[in-house]
Structure 1
Amino acid sequence: MAAVSVQLLPADDVMAPSTTTPFALPSQHIVDHVVAVETVAAPAPRKRNVFDMFRLDGRVAVITGGARGLGYAMAEGLCAAGLSAIAILDLQTDLGESACEQLHSEYGVTARFYRLDVRDEEAVQDAMDAVVRDLGKIDILLLSAGVADLVLAEEYSPAKFRRVIDINLNGSFICAQAAGKHMIAAGRGGSIIFIGSMSGSIVNRPQSQSAYNASKAGVIHLMKSLSAEWAQYGIRCNSISPGYMDTPLNTAFEQEYFPEWKARTPMGRLGQPEELAGCALWLASNASSFCTGSDIIIDGGYTVI
């Protein structure tokens, strides 16, 4: 609404009352106060800066499998947006402690490492309890721990198959459940980000990886199930499904598979780990506050053809 400025101007040549006519002034000398009305535009309201919605100031994130590779790249993305603290949960102690030192050095964030096997229910619950005790709360959980085997189905031992399912799928549930309990009890909501794969939607060629494909399809549907159950608590669940990424774990297949992987990808290359960080930040932040139950495929176009 425009502001109105009112200014009283002095009367012009107003005579004092006559002694003979105490209650009347000569009509030719009556001059009323003049009111000048000036319309002044109100200051424009400050426009909301969309980048503010991506800030994570004051929040605490937990990342499983965050010691290296995709998990570490996404951890960097979250720390760059102002996290107050981050917990790295991983089996590899040396890499995990080094990752925390690096994150603290580069971003000034409080970083703690907790050694963890995501298949161990008791250890997972203890780790989540420790994070809340040490860092105060859990606002964000990013589930990046996972393994893959390239084994012909007819040669896959049941024990080896179960290991992939146990780490990728069951481990995701165990960690989500433990962190989810804390989020529900705190009553502040939260964001849980699962790492699926394009392999949860398609069957990769030329390699054989039936256990991995099945596990990631399960992770994506688990995410959707929890998103429906936990929306009432303000907990959003989404997943990121990468395509072929240029990570240390994949370099072992560089000579054998990289050429065909690139040829089957419309963008003609593998993805870089940091290319997932923006999506992870969006899902962790208020910028995605109405997004839950979504699987976001980042694969250079692999699944569209």
Structure 2
Amino acid sequence: MKLSKKVAIVTGGGSGIGEATVRRLVAEGAKVVVADITDRGAALCGELSEAGHEALFCRVNVAQEADIRQLIEQTVSRFGRLDIVVANAGIGQAAVPVEQTELDSWQQMLDINLTGVFLTNKHAIAQMKQQRSGGAVVNVASIMGHVGMAGATAYNAAKGGVVNLTRSIGVACAQDGIRVNAVCPGFVDTAILDAASEEKKARIAAMHPIGRLGRSEEIASAILFLASDDASFMVGANLIVDGGYTAQ
């Protein structure tokens, strides 16, 4: 029970890596707020509550600052404090040459995948500083924040932003006892890949030396590590969990 009595928020917590993270955190004793823009988060909270866990659903668009403010307020109102935040909400991108990338698509990607992380960090850290009891923030970046991929201009830019945002906020908040780190997954078998054919999935899997796609539960384990006291000396780090993709 690494997170006994801790209160955590997971954005994008209704599915994929977010859902796996929620399940892992409650299994370690945390009270969890599932922030999601869809009803999947509500269904997950219902299931967890029936199993005896403390879980709250908040409908949130992470690109809207008012939604993030309300998320923090509802969390503190329900549970009295905030100890852990996992900024996971994000969207994927179909491959598009840079010269064909529409400004609206570019802006949507940055609004959700980068600004959403910034806003979540901003308001969560303000609450943690007010409490004066430290905390842990885990941002979900990507290996695409470290390497480039043709056709993923906006996604690469957004995730690269998350990587350096994590470093900047991490060093700024370390003396307040607030640890800010990021996890950088390789390709994970989530709904983002649902539209891909089995042949394409096989090609993507083969790009990883381990020979397969990642599982959401494997990323959740890394997030748990960063959120727990096991990572007490990690600040501004970007933990790569990619089956060897970026080691090549």
Matching residue within 124, 132, 135 for 2:79? 135
Deviation at 1:255, TM superposition (A): 3.3
CA-CA distance at 1:294 after TM superposition: 0.7
Of 206, 209, 221, which residue of structure 2 is paired with 1:278? Answer: 221
Q: Tell me how far 1:123 sits from its aligned partner.
A: 1.9
Post-superposition Cα deviations, 1:212-251, rounded to whole Å, max 9, x if no partner, equal 0110000010011000111121000000000011112212
Deviations along 1:155-206, one digit per CA (max 9) or x if unpaired, are: 11111101101100011001110111100000000000000000000123xx
Q: Is the 8 A contact 1:66 1:145 kept in 2?
A: yes
Aligned partner (choices 32, 48, 61) of residue 117 of structure 1: 61
Amino acid at match of 1:195: V
> Which residue of the partner structure matches residue 30 of structure 1?
none
**2:229 and 2:36 mapped to 1: Cα distance?**
27
Runs of 4+ in 1 over 4 A off after TM superposition: none
Structure 1 unaligned spans of 5+: 1-53
Counterpart residue number, 2:50: 105
Aligned residue in 2 for 1:157: 102
**Matched-pair contact (CA < 8 Å) for 2:166–2:236:** yes
Compute the displacement of 1:131 (Å): 0.8
**What residue identity is the alignment partner of 1:61?**
A
Amino acid at match of 1:142: V
TM-score by length of 2: 0.96
For residue 257 of structure 1, report the CA deviation from its aligned partner: 2.4
Q: SS of the residue aligned with 2:195?
A: helix
Verify: 1:299 aligned to 2:205, yes or no.
no
Contact 1:241–1:296 (8 Å) recurs in 2: yes
How much does 1:261 deviate?
1.0
Give the match for residue 40 of structure 1.
none
C-alpha deviations, 1:107-165, integer Å up to 9, x for none?
Answer: x2211101011111122112211111111111000011001212221111111101101
Q: Which has the higher helix share?
A: 2
The within-5 A match list for 1:218-229 is 218-229=161-172
Secondary structure in 1 aligned to 2:56?
strand
TM-score by length of 1: 0.79
Q: How does 1:148-227 map to 2 (within 5 A)?
A: 148-150=92-94, 151-204=96-149, 208-227=151-170
Alignment partner of 2:133: what SS?
coil
Measure, in 1, the Cα distance between the counterparts of 2:48 and 2:192: 21
Picking from 26, 32, 43, the partner of 1:79 is: 26
CA contact (8 A) 2:92 2:192 kept: no
Amino-acid identity (%): 35
Higher Cα Rg: structure 1 or 2? 1
**Residue 8 (structure 2) pairs with residue 65 (structure 1):** no
Relative contact order higher in (CA < 8 Å, ≥ 6 apart): 2
Supply the distance in 2 between the matched residues of 1:289 and 1:181 (Cα, whole angstroms): 20
**Secondary structure in 1 matching 2:55:** strand
Unaligned ranges ≥5, structure 2: none
| DSSP 3-state at the match of 2:35 | strand
In structure 2, how many angstroms separate the alpha carbons of the residues matched to 1:69 and 1:104?
A: 19
